[in-house]
Amino acid sequence: MSRHNYFAYGSNMNPTQMGERCPPAIALGVVTLEGWDIAINERGVATILPADDSDASVAMEGVLWSVTDRCLETLDHYEGVRSGIYRREGVRIHTADRDVEAIAYVAASRGHGDPRPGYLETILEGADHFKVSPAYRIRLERLSGTAL
């Protein structure tokens, strides 16, 4: 059984949700993805967008999971890969001591919107559980347009 690095930045940071979707997933901790930023699209869910050239110093945090092939199949289903809602993309993330390659899901829809009811709270529960930095937690709160 092969394992893969999966970078979760939205509701899949939440350990309860990942436990239900992918029981064999192992959380490896908070990591950083440089050159990308998080946004809520018009569907009301999170996506990541490459930072524009004028702000290449943008970085975001998320949770690195070790997942199985079956987990990826399950995540593909939940993320709507087959219908083109999200696609898998390879990203290079920074751990405490090295860079690693990981899979991230990027939404096809890039317009901005407001989070679905309860969605941001699910993200924040995961962020709190894994203890993202205080500054990044504030960025997540601001995805709602109003601080929580």
Whole-model pTM: value is 0.92
Give, as one character, the DSSP assignment of residue 49: E
Q: What does each C-alpha distance from 111 to 45, 98, 137 come to in angstroms? A: 11, 33, 22
The CATH number assigned to the domain holding 54 equals 3.10.490.10
Nearest Cα residue to 59 out of 7, 126, 19, 2: 7
Number of domains in the chain: 1
Residue 148: per-residue pLDDT:
36
For residues 108 and 42, the answer to whether their CB atoms sit within 8 Å is no
CA angle 108, 46, 4 (to 5 degrees): 80
Between helices 134-141 and 119-130, what is the axis angle to 10°? 180
Containing structural domain, residue 20: 3-144
Give the tens place of pLDDT for each residue, 26-81. 999 999 999 999 999 999 999 999 887 666 578 999 999 999 999 999 999 999 99
pLDDT of 146 reads 43
